[in-house]
C-alpha cells in the first residue's frame, strides 16, 4: 500500500501532489462532511502554506437525507474554524431520479456543481477502496475498457480534477482522523447494502480481503493497465479519424474502410468527443450497422441515453434528443458573445463586423430572442429575392432534414431576422459602413 512507502500521510500527499499542483493554485475541495473529505480538508489545509495553495470548499446539499441540513451546518463550522471559504450548493435530484436512480442523479448534479466553480482544480477525496469498488462495479456491469480504467489521479479540464488520496486505504484515513482528533458526519445511507456499492463494501470485499489481503493494490494496478489500454485505443481512433472527423461530424465512408473492431472504436471515440454517453454494446453494434448498411436515402436515427445518432450525405452526427423543453424554449439575447444551443449540441457565437451580417441599429428596435421553428415561418434572404418559406429555403441550402427543426431562429420582437448559419432577412442586413453582427454556430 502507498502508505507503507511513507509513514506520514501528509508527506505522501505532498510528494505525489506537489509535482502536479502548481504553486498558487486555486484548489476547491469537495466537502461532504464524511471522514474522507474531512481528512482531505485537514491535509490540504496543513500543506497549503508550504505550496501557496489557495483553498476553498464546496458542499453539495442534495436534500435526500433528513440530516442534510445538519451536514451543511457541520461543514460551515468546520471551514470557519480553518478560515477556508465555503459555498453551499443546493440541488434537486427529483427531475433526474427516475431516469438515473438516486446515486447516479446525485453524482451527476455534484459533477455539474463542481464544473461551475471558479477554480483551477477540484480536489476530491476518493481513495483506494473507492477505486477497487468502482472497478468491480464496472466489471459487473460489463463495461468496456474506458469504463474499467478507473478514476485518474488527475484529470485536465476547466476546472481540472485531482484525487490526492487515491492510493490511500479507507482504514488509513480513519486512523489519521483519530490521530488528529477530527470530527465528521456519518451518512446513514452508507449502511444500506441494497445499494450495489454498499453491498460490495460490506458483504463482498471483507470476504475478498481474507483471501486476497492486497486486493486494493492489485485492483488499482489493473485499473492503471486498463487506463493505458484505453489511451492506446484513443490514440488509434485519433489516427483513424484524422481525416474522417470534422466540425462535429464523422464520415461514414471512413468507418466502412476499417475492420469492424476499429470502426466501433472510432465510432465510440467520436461519440466521446461530442460529449455523448457511451451506448451499450448492442446499441453500438446497431448504430454501426445502420450507418453502414441502411440504403442511401434512409433517414437513419439511432436513439440511446437521451441522444441521437443520425446520417446525412455520408456523414454521421451525434446530439442530444430534442425534448419538449427545447421545442418551447425562448432564449433572450442580451449581447453575449457566446450562448449554448443544446438543440444542436453547439454554441452560438456572435461577432461584430462592419457592413456585414445583421444591422445592430435595427436590432435595437425590440427585444432579441432565439427559438426553434414552429412552422409557417418565411424570410426574404436578399433584397432582390422573393419571400420564401423557411421549409423551401432550408431544402435549397441542403440543410439536413432533422437540423431544420433544431437551427436557432433569431427574432427582433415578432420579426424573423435570421436563420443562424443560413440566411439573414434582407430588411435587417447591415449596409455598407454600418455596424453589423455576425451570428454562427460552432461545436462545443
For the chain, what percentages of helix, strand and coil (3-state, to nearest 5) are there? Answer: 45, 20, 35
When pLDDT is cut at 50, 70 and 90, the band that residue 98 belongs to is low
Number of H helices, E strands in the chain: 16, 22
Please tell me which residue, 105 or 405, carries the higher pLDDT value: 405
Q: What is the mean pLDDT of residues 271-285?
A: 91
pLDDT, tens digit, for every residue of 352-379?
A: 999 999 999 999 999 999 999 888 899 9
Q: How far apart are CA 186 and CA 34, in angstroms?
A: 6
- Print burial letters for 274-298: b (CB count within 10 Å at least 16), e (below 16): bebebbeeeebeebbebbeeeeeee
Residue 68 clears pLDDT 60, i.e. is over it: yes
Distance between CA atoms of 30 and 342, rounded to whole angstroms?
Answer: 28
Taking the domains of the chain in order of start, what are their residue ranges? 2-223, 241-320, 325-442
The mean pLDDT of 284-303, rounded to a whole number, is: 91
pLDDT at residue 247, as a whole number: 81
- Which is more confidently placed, 410 or 112? 410
444: confidence class by pLDDT, cuts 50, 70, 90: low
Q: Can you give the three-state secondary structure of 157-217, one letter per residue?
A: CCCEEECCCCCCCHHHHHHHHHHCCCCCCCCHHHHCCCCHHHHHHHHHHHHHHHHCCCHHH
Q: What is the pLDDT of residues 220-263, one digit of tens each?
A: 999 999 999 999 999 999 999 999 998 889 999 999 999 999 99
Segment 42-57 shows an average pLDDT of: 95
Kindly state the cell numbers that stand for 221: 494496478
Average pLDDT, the chain: 89
Distance of alpha carbon 153 from alpha carbon 20, whole angstroms: 10
Read off the pLDDT of residues 122-156 as tens digits, 9 standing for 90 and up.
999 999 999 999 999 999 988 889 889 989 999 88
Is 3.40.50.620 the CATH number for 2-223?
yes
pTM to 2 decimal places = 0.75
H/E stretch holding 368 reads strand 368-371
Host H or E run for residue 127: none
With 50 as the cut, is the pLDDT of residue 391 above it?
yes
pLDDT band at residue 3, thresholds of 50, 70 and 90? Answer: very low
pLDDT of residue 329: 78
d(CA 67, CA 428): 57
pLDDT value, residue 4: 43
Contacts of 324 (CB under 8 A, 6+ apart): none
Spacing of C-alpha 149 from chain mean position: 17
Beta bridge partners of 350: 439
Average pLDDT for residues 394-407, to the nearest whole number? 85
Annotation: CATH topology of 241-320 = Chorismate Mutase Domain, subunit A (1.20.59)
Q: Give the lowest-confidence range in 101-105, 182-186, 266-270.
A: 101-105
The answer on pLDDT for 340 being more than 90 is no
Chain segment 149-198, per-residue pLDDT in tens = 989 999 888 899 999 999 899 999 999 999 999 999 998 888 888 888 99
Amino acid at each position: 500500500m502507498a502508505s507503507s512507502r511513507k509513514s506520514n500521510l501528509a508527506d505522501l500527499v505532498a510528494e505525489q501532489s506537489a509535482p502536479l499542483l502548481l504553486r498558487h493554485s486555486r484548489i476547491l475541495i469537495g466537502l461532504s462532511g464524511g471522514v474522507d473529505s474531512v481528512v482531505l480538508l485537514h491535509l490540504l489545509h496543513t500543506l497549503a502554506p508550504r505550496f501557496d495553495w489557495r483553498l476553498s470548499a464546496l458542499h453539495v446539499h442534495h436534500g435526500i437525507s433528513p440530516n442534510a441540513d445538519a451536514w451543511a451546518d457541520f461543514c460551515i463550522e468546520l471551514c470557519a474554524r480553518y478560515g477556508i471559504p465555503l459555498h453551499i450548493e443546493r440541488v434537486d435530484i427529483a427531475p433526474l431520479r427516475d431516469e438515473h436512480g438516486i446515486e447516479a442523479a446525485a453524482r451527476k448534479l455534484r459533477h455539474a456543481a463542481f464544473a461551475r466553480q471558479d477554480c483551477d482544480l477540484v480536489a476530491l477525496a476518493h481513495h483506494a477502496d473507492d477505486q477497487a469498488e468502482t472497478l468491480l462495479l464496472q466489471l459487473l456491469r460489463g463495461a468496456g475498457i474506458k469504463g474499467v480504467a478507473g478514476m485518474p489521479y488527475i484529470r485536465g479540464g476547466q476546472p481540472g480534477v485531482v484525487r490526492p488520496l487515491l492510493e490511500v486505504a479507507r482504514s488509513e484515513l480513519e486512523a489519521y482522523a483519530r490521530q488528529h482528533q477530527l470530527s465528521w458526519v456519518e451518512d446513514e445511507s452508507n449502511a444500506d447494502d441494497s445499494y450495489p456499492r454498499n453491498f460490495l463494501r460490506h458483504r463482498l470485499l471483507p470476504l475478498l480481503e481474507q483471501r486476497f489481503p492486497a486486493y486494493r493494490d492489485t485492483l488499482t494496478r489493473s485499473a492503471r493497465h486498463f487506463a493505458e489500454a484505453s489511451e492506446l485505443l484513443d490514440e488509434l481512433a485519433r489516427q483513424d479519424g484524422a481525416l474522417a472527423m470534422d466540425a462535429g461530424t464523422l464520415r461514414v465512408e471512413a468507418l466502412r474502410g476499417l475492420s469492424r473492431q476499429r470502426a466501433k472504436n472510432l465510432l465510440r471515440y467520436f461519440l466521446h468527443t461530442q460529449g455523448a454517453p457511451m451506448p451499450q454494446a448492442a446499441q453500438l453494434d446497431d448504430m454501426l450497422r445502420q450507418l453502414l448498411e441502411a440504403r442511401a436515402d434512409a433517414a437513419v436515427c439511432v436513439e440511446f441515453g437521451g441522444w441521437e445518432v443520425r446520417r446525412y450525405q455520408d456523414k454521421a452526427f451525434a446530439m442530444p434528443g430534442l425534448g419538449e423543453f427545447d421545442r418551447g424554449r425562448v432564449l433572450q439575447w442580451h449581447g453575449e458573445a457566446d450562448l449554448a444551443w443544446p438543440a444542436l449540441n453547439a454554441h452560438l457565437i456572435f461577432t461584430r463586423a462592419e457592413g456585414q451580417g445583421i444591422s445592430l441599429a435595427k436590432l435595437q428596435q425590440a427585444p432579441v430572442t432565439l427559438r426553434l421553428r414552429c412552422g409557417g415561418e418565411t424570410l426574404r434572404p436578399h433584397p432582390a429575392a422573393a419571400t420564401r418559406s423557411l421549409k423551401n429555403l432550408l431544402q435549397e441550402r441542403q440543410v439536413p432534414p432533422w437540423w431544420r427543426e433544431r437551427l436557432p431562429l433569431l427574432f427582433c420582437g415578432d420579426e424573423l431576422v435570421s436563420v443562424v448559419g443560413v440566411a439573414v432577412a434582407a430588411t435587417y442586413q447591415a449596409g455598407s459602413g454600418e455596424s453589423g453582427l455576425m451570428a454562427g454556430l460552432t461545436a462545443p
